[in-house]
Amino acid sequence: MQFTTFTIQNVSENSSGLRSTQQVLRCLYSRRAVPSINHIYSTKPSLPPNSLAWAYNISRSCSTYSSGQSSFSLRSHTCGELCSSHVDEEVTLCGWIQYLRQDLFVILRDFSGLVQILIPQDESKSELKNAFLGLTVESVIMVKGRVRCRPEGQENKKMSTGEIEVCAESMEVLNTCRKLPFEIKEFVKKSEALRMQYRYLDLRSPRMQYNLRLRSQMVMKMREYLCNLHRFVDVETPTLFKRTPGGAKEFVVPSGDPGKFYSLPQSPQQFKQLLMVAGIDRYFQLARCYRDEGSKPDRQPEFTQVDIEISFVDQAGVMSLIEGLVHYSWPEDKGQINVPFPSMTYEEAIRDYGVDKPDTRFGMKLVDVTTAFQESQIEFIKDALLKPSGCIQAICVPEGTKYLKGKDLEFLKQAAKTQYGQRPLLGKLRLQCVELLESYGVPVRDPSVFHFLWVVDFPLFLPKEDNPEMLEAAHHPFTAPVPEDAHLLYTQPRKVRGQHYDLVLNGCEVGGGSIRIHNASQQLYVLDTILKEDPSLLSHLLEALDSGAPPHGGIALGLDRLVSIIVGAPSIRDIIAFPKSFRGHDLMSRAPDFVSEEDLKPYHISVVWPSADIEGQQDNSV
Amino acid sequence: MQFTTFTIQNVSENSSGLRSTQQVLRCLYSRRAVPSINHIYSTKPSLPPNSLAWAYNISRSCSTYSSGQSSFSLRSHTCGELCSSHVDEEVTLCGWIQYLRQDLFVILRDFSGLVQILIPQDESKSELKNAFLGLTVESVIMVKGRVRCRPEGQENKKMSTGEIEVCAESMEVLNTCRKLPFEIKEFVKKSEALRMQYRYLDLRSPRMQYNLRLRSQMVMKMREYLCNLHRFVDVETPTLFKRTPGGAKEFVVPSGDPGKFYSLPQSPQQFKQLLMVAGIDRYFQLARCYRDEGSKPDRQPEFTQVDIEISFVDQAGVMSLIEGLVHYSWPEDKGQINVPFPSMTYEEAIRDYGVDKPDTRFGMKLVDVTTAFQESQIEFIKDALLKPSGCIQAICVPEGTKYLKGKDLEFLKQAAKTQYGQRPLLGKLRLQCVELLESYGVPVRDPSVFHFLWVVDFPLFLPKEDNPEMLEAAHHPFTAPVPEDAHLLYTQPRKVRGQHYDLVLNGCEVGGGSIRIHNASQQLYVLDTILKEDPSLLSHLLEALDSGAPPHGGIALGLDRLVSIIVGAPSIRDIIAFPKSFRGHDLMSRAPDFVSEEDLKPYHISVVWPSADIEGQQDNSV
């Protein structure tokens, strides 16, 4: 760091004693003429008598610091950035002991990588040598030394700093490390529970460092795109909100008013629409959202969405905006992606892939073979064809006859039987065939390839599962109908398509949005007449639509899911710094935890203990 | 918008009928060759028969859109950006009717400003004229027209678009507006309750638009500084966490485990330190924090802090980092600020200003006049001087004799009496003198001037208010001692100064931070021996410090407070989109609200109703 170096070079050797030096330093430091008081303490026990005046001059001449990954730091460089261009430079490094080798080398690690430190071997430096040899793995040190080329033949081409090493001249132990529950090495396999309990150690792995840094960089690029290029306004919306009618998955937060609760919202949907009514014009937020789904696999009780809303826009506008966003923020090391992304209607997706989020990295589309079986006398085929819109479909599995064995076919047959009549059955069978093929080593889905796809023209309403006479919103009740279908709202609502769009990546839904209803009477008709919901619960939104609401629409991207697919993580827990376990527990701090009745009093609630043994309810499983 | 214009220019007039045009458009649109289907619908009812092929070509040649505040939009320009350089251009504007004037003009508003639309007066356009005249205020329209210079002498120099006007050629009503509870004009005074209930209207005011946009821009600049210039990593930390011991101000969130609760944390303090142990090296987050303070004035139950932590740093490093941050993100229209900011020790602040967050925009320092009164025979002065560290201090109020009247002096005397013996008394009297002077029109505190100040060298511990024999942490138990004082921890802990720094702006604390303890045994000693707290509650943190924790420190800036001072807002509610009232209520959606016992069942809690009449508890005051 430019400033530290400069300061130290100016500390002359004539002395006025340690105590007065400290006084001078405190004085300089309270005026912040020196950036690094401890540093100077440890290296230069004395300062010139006129250092105060000198420091004033420095503080005037060096009022800005250099930027970069070592600014404001005790180190001059990071371990991983050193290369042959640094040869002969004096450097100060800070980091963790990865390991000691042959009593000769220390491998030092920081977030940027590893570097080899040469321990001095001559007798005059035996104290320094012994200090190095006494170090435990993962202890934290500061090393000063000079960079040199490694002797010929000793370069390590697998190491990015493998051409050089640092000859240690001094070393300070900043912290010692006790024996750890596991080693910080990529190849060391740890149980999920251990990783979660010692998350601060797990995060030291290069993989987790990469994941969190990539996430941060992608988010920053997204912000640049939205805020700087397209003038979106980053607006924070409340997370202590009113409970949504029927919001069974919303956490409640007791307030000081007896019987009254806030709710942690599943998304800022109402707020983003209200911001459009407020004339904000273009809004975005990296929004923390909450959903209480118990122990669904690979879900988190809190998650983050890239939340976007824009006024005076239509469906194609939002889709282009998002393509630009993904393209702009795409990590360089993941190859190019092409925009625009292909689109597919909901009808096409169901017809060809049996699912509304098809993985288009491979074919194996569903083929309708009904006509070929029209005259079939096979009993279950005859039965199927007699049903309303009954049909026979086939999937052609390439090399299936070569790889799929009797038990595989039996497995598929059983899957088909148990899920017979459920809509996504054929889509599932297609994926199960692929999984079987891949288990035999046939590569079908390339993990390094990214197939984005828009799915559009969803139905606006679906029959309720428990009462098919009634309708429910396919996505949410604020989605506007496709303009040509709007008149059908009043006659055949089941036929209305919505201006909804889902973004699918490699068969996973990574985003969804819609053009919203901006007309109060249309919104009231949908809530009241079609969905039979109590419109008074949304009276503030209906009133807002009646107050000069612009046409608007938006989208929310699931950031955790998106990043996890990009980095190829098996779970979204691998791209979240401190995730909860399957059961919603923090295994490090042991949250949630018991709270005294005394602490609950201000909130006017008490615990209703189940009649069963309470001990039996406790569960520390992941 | 470049693309829209291009598309429309290419739509030739030969027709193939509306129905087939719609089909073609749907097709184009599902492939997103056209950005704006509704737009084309409304303006061009026909497309050439070969439009599909034509559209493919366009989609290839225009795969990127232009950037700016009208990208992806139905409009071509914003209202406020038009000026004489746009004269003769055809523009499409979308916005709200501010007002109609003389049946001749419509003043159209969007977030960027106002523009005058000329309503055509000739007979052939009477339909368009009537459509304009039928508009209600705050209705939303789209206008196409041509920009022209206003006739000589009719320019409006008070209006940024006052040199031009737009001659309307067509207009579409996008939404009509009902009668509103108040007008959207700066000078219309509204009650706070009305502003909160109709927040989506209140936010349409130029002042609120300015505040939210300035906040967004400042935050974006802060991110650029931290992320791009200094390589900080933006890491999200959980808000569903474990309750802090004694965390009386933490909201609780019941979980599905009987009797177990999450807590909404007051800051990510533990997580940011754990991220340093994890080797993240430099962390930042715009962190949502929660604090249940009932009805303290101008506090919010949720607020945002700029949360920063950095490894291998010292106090001066963090202070320089923050100076750079504030300097970099400082709004251009608020004048220059100078860095580095001045520093003052806690002792100096108390001595000279009687408070630890002095407003240094004006003098009126406290003057110790004890020696002058040493021989005084006045009874209360004699009494005061007999007390331990008793002293007599004075404030010189400039022009005080001219302005301060008998009742003012009586008011000050009463204030002094009632708060006698409380530490911040003299600091308060100083401010009260200023308020009195300002009430007589003497300008003392210039609101357009920004005085930043660091306050350093705080005591690490303070005597507990209710039991002065015991100590409590002055800030929090993780603050490291000043290096020269560290040995006093074990002998005279009351004399230890902490490596804590507060950032003060115009007499308000806008940030605070510290270098943290990174040594497990020192941390244990502070918790256990000095503070008498149960260290097992922080066992995960102590374990982490023992696992190779680097030296680290950080800071948190109160974003809401900082922005509110910069824009000169009387309340932080003016820089938050959807704030809660004094009593923590959302007056728009009426949160918090009652939740059915049925909905509470999954969380194993029930409401404990106070014995008093429940109706009496309800309160809709702000």
Cβ contact B345–A30 (<8 Å): yes
Whether A584 has its CB under 8 Å from any CB of chain B: the answer is yes
pLDDT number for residue B293: 86
Cβ contact A614–B258 (<8 Å): yes
pLDDT score of A441 more than 50:
yes
Whether A59 has its CB under 8 Å from any CB of chain B: the answer is yes
ipTM: 0.90
Distance CA B149, CA B88 (A): 9
Which residue in B241, B310, B592 is closest to A591 by CB distance? B241
Q: Is the peptide bond preceding residue A570 cis, with omega within 30 degrees of 0?
A: no
Which residue in B39, B67, B216 is closest to A234 by CB distance? B216
Question: How do the domains of chain B map onto residue ranges?
Answer: 2-61, 79-175, 207-337+558-575, 362-444
Side chain identity, residue B503: L
pLDDT (mean) for A153-164: 96
How far separated are the first and last CA of chain B, in Å rounded? 44
E-assigned strand segments in A390-438: 393-395
Q: How confident is the model at residue A613 (pLDDT cuts 50, 70, 90)?
A: low
Whether B69 has its CB under 8 Å from any CB of chain A: the answer is yes
Best of B347, B537, B578 to substitute, by most chain A Cβ atoms within 10 angstroms, is B578
Which residues in chain A are closer than 8 Å to B319, comparing Cβ atoms? 32
* B226 C-beta neighbours (distance < 10 Å), count: 26
Compute the mean pLDDT over every residue in chain A, rounded to the nearest whole number.
88
DSSP B471: E
Whether A552 has its CB under 8 Å from any CB of chain B: the answer is no
Chain A residue closest to B289 (CA)? Answer: A239
**Lowest-pLDDT range, A336-350, B243-257, B448-462?**
B243-257
Whether A11 has its CB under 8 Å from any CB of chain B: the answer is no
Cβ contact A591–B230 (<8 Å): no
pLDDT score of B568 more than 90:
yes
pLDDT (mean) for B350-374: 95
Chain A residue closest to B594 (CA)? Answer: A260
Q: Which range scores top for mean pLDDT: A292-306, A410-424, A538-552?
A: A538-552
DSSP A338: -
CATH class of A208-337+558-575: alpha beta
Exposed, middle or buried, A13 (CB in 10 Å: 0-12/13-18/19+)? exposed
pLDDT number for residue A411: 94
pLDDT score of B4 more than 50:
no
pLDDT number for residue A36: 43
Which residues in chain A are closer than 8 Å to B223, comparing Cβ atoms? 220, 223
Whether B61 has its CB under 8 Å from any CB of chain A: the answer is no
Cα–Cα nearest to B287, from B303, B298, B299: B303
Phi/psi-derived region of residue B576, left when phi > 0, alpha when psi is between -120 and 50, beta in every other case: beta
Q: Which two tokens stand for residue A249?
A: 């998955």
pLDDT number for residue B121: 95
Best of A229, A253, A534, A564 to substitute, by most chain B Cβ atoms within 10 angstroms, is A253
Secondary structure class of A369 (helix, strand, coil): coil
pLDDT score of B607 more than 60:
yes
Cβ contact B311–A227 (<8 Å): no
Separation in Å, CA B189 to CA A281, A577, B184, B194? 25, 47, 10, 10
Cβ contact B237–A94 (<8 Å): no
* B411 C-beta neighbours (distance < 10 Å), count: 14
Q: Percent of chain B at pLDDT above 70?
A: 87
Tell me which residues of chain B, numbers 355 to 374, contact chain A at a CB-CB cutoff of 8 Å: none
Cβ contact A607–B235 (<8 Å): no
Is the pLDDT higher at B374 or at B504? B504
> CB–CB of A459/A498 below 8 Å?
yes
Whether A244 has its CB under 8 Å from any CB of chain B: the answer is no
Tell me which residues of chain B, numbers 477 to 536, contact chain A at a CB-CB cutoff of 8 Å: 483-484, 518-519
pLDDT score of B432 more than 70:
yes
pLDDT (mean) for A59-64: 38
Sign of the alpha-carbon dihedral angle for A116, A121, A122, A124: positive
Best of A524, A593, A606, A621 to substitute, by most chain B Cβ atoms within 10 angstroms, is A593
How many CB contacts within 8 angstroms connect chain A with chain B? 487
Whether A311 has its CB under 8 Å from any CB of chain B: the answer is yes
Which residues in chain B are closer than 8 Å to A519, comparing Cβ atoms? 175
Cβ contact A257–B229 (<8 Å): no
> How many Å lie between the alpha carbon of A181 and the closest alpha carbon of chain B?
10
pLDDT (mean) for B564-572: 95
Q: How confident is the model at residue A535 (pLDDT cuts 50, 70, 90)?
A: very high
pLDDT score of B26 more than 80:
no
Cα–Cα nearest to B452, from B335, B374, B351: B335
Chain A residue closest to B313 (CA)? Answer: A73
Q: How confident is the model at residue B390 (pLDDT cuts 50, 70, 90)?
A: confident
Separation in Å, CA B13 to CA B2, B16, B45, B46? 21, 10, 9, 7
In tens, the pLDDT along B40-59 reads 443 444 444 444 444 433 44
Chain B residue closest to A277 (CA)? Answer: B200
Separation in Å, CA B297 to CA A241, B300, B584? 20, 9, 10
Cβ contact B242–A548 (<8 Å): no
Q: Percent of chain A at pLDDT above 90?
A: 77
Which residues in chain A are closer than 8 Å to B113, comparing Cβ atoms? none
pLDDT (mean) for B318-346: 95
Q: Which residue has the tokens 């840094």?
A: A213
Exposed, middle or buried, A300 (CB in 10 Å: 0-12/13-18/19+)? buried
pLDDT number for residue A24: 52
pLDDT score of A2 more than 80:
no
> CB–CB of A166/A116 below 8 Å?
yes
Distance CA B297, CA B320 (A): 32
pLDDT score of A322 more than 80:
yes
Q: Is the peptide bond preceding residue B551 cis, with omega within 30 degrees of 0?
A: no
In tens, the pLDDT along B573-601 reads 999 999 999 899 999 999 999 999 999 99
Radius of gyration from C-alpha coordinates of chain A:
32
Three-state SS annotation for A178-247: CCCCCCCCCCCCCCHHHHHHCHHHHCCCHHHHHHHHHHHHHHHHHHHHHHHHCCCEECCCCCCECCCCCC
pLDDT score of B223 more than 60:
yes
pLDDT number for residue B187: 66
Does domain B207-337+558-575 sit in CATH 3.30.70.930?
Answer: no
> How many Å lie between the alpha carbon of B205 and the closest alpha carbon of chain A?
9
pLDDT number for residue A25: 55
Q: How confident is the model at residue A29 (pLDDT cuts 50, 70, 90)?
A: low
pLDDT number for residue B244: 82
Distance CA B96, CA A311 (A): 12
In tens, the pLDDT along A539-575 reads 999 999 999 999 999 999 999 999 999 999 999 999 9
Dihedral, CA of residue A378, residue A379, residue A380 and residue A382, to nearest 10: 80
Separation in Å, CA A131 to CA A96, A117, A120, B70, B498? 15, 13, 11, 64, 30
> CB–CB of B164/B204 below 8 Å?
no
Q: Are A79-175 and A208-337+558-575 equal in CATH topology?
A: no
pLDDT number for residue B296: 74
pLDDT (mean) for A371-395: 89
* Sequence-ordered alpha helix ranges (H) in A32-91: 37-43, 51-61
pLDDT (mean) for A338-359: 95
Cβ contact B69–A608 (<8 Å): no
Q: Is the peptide bond preceding residue B592 cis, with omega within 30 degrees of 0?
A: yes
pLDDT number for residue B90: 97
Which residues in chain B are closer than 8 Å to A68, comparing Cβ atoms? 229-231
Selected from 2.40.50.140, 2.40.40.20, 3.65.10.10, 2.40.30.10, the CATH number assigned to the domain covering A79-175 reads 2.40.50.140
Distance CA A529, CA A517 (A): 15
Which residues in chain A are closer than 8 Å to B274, comparing Cβ atoms? 199-200, 578, 588
Between strands A252-254 and A164-175, the pairing is unpaired
Which residue in A217, A220, A301 is closest to B240 by CB distance? A301
pLDDT score of B528 more than 60:
yes
Cβ contact B316–A595 (<8 Å): no
Which residue in A72, A230, A255 is closest to B584 by CB distance? A255
Distance CA A165, CA A104 (A): 12
pLDDT score of B415 more than 50:
yes
